[in-house]
Every structure is written in C-alpha cells, then in structure tokens.
Amino acid sequence: MAEWIQEWDWQYQEYQKIPKNNHSQINHSWYLLMEQRLLSLQDILGMIISVEKEI
C-alpha cells in the first residue's frame, strides 16, 4: 500500500508541473493510467478488508 501511495504521489507531482492549459496533461501517465491505478487500489483495499474480517 505504501508503495502504491508513493508512486501515486510522485506521478501526481509530475502531472501538476505541466501547465493547466497544456494538452500534455491528458497524455501524462498519471492521467492515462488512472483507471488501472484505481483498480489496483481497489484490489489492495479488498485484501485489507479480507484480512480485517479474519482478525
């Protein structure tokens, strides 16, 4: 989870460096891979919930 957060933060910081009026934002990996990253987060949170239920 910590690794996922670090990667998200790093990519988002890089994304924020692009001027808002620049169309390059929609071509940045943070934007392009958002769905994949959110699905990964969903999997991670699902595993955490499963472990918590077992405790």
Residue 19, pLDDT score: 83
Tokens of 40: 């990964």
Per-residue pLDDT band at 55 (split at 50, 70, 90): confident
Q: Residue 53 pLDDT > 80, yes or no?
A: yes
Residue 35, pLDDT score: 94
Tell which residue, 17, 10, 16, 11, has the closest CA to residue 32: 11
Map the chain to HEC letters: CHHHHHHHHHHHHHHHCCCCCCHHHHHCHHHHCHHHHHHHHHHHHHHHHHHHHHC
Q: What is the CA radius of gyration of the chain?
A: 15
pLDDT tens for 4-48 read 899 989 999 988 888 877 677 888 888 899 999 999 999 999 999
Residue 42, pLDDT score: 96
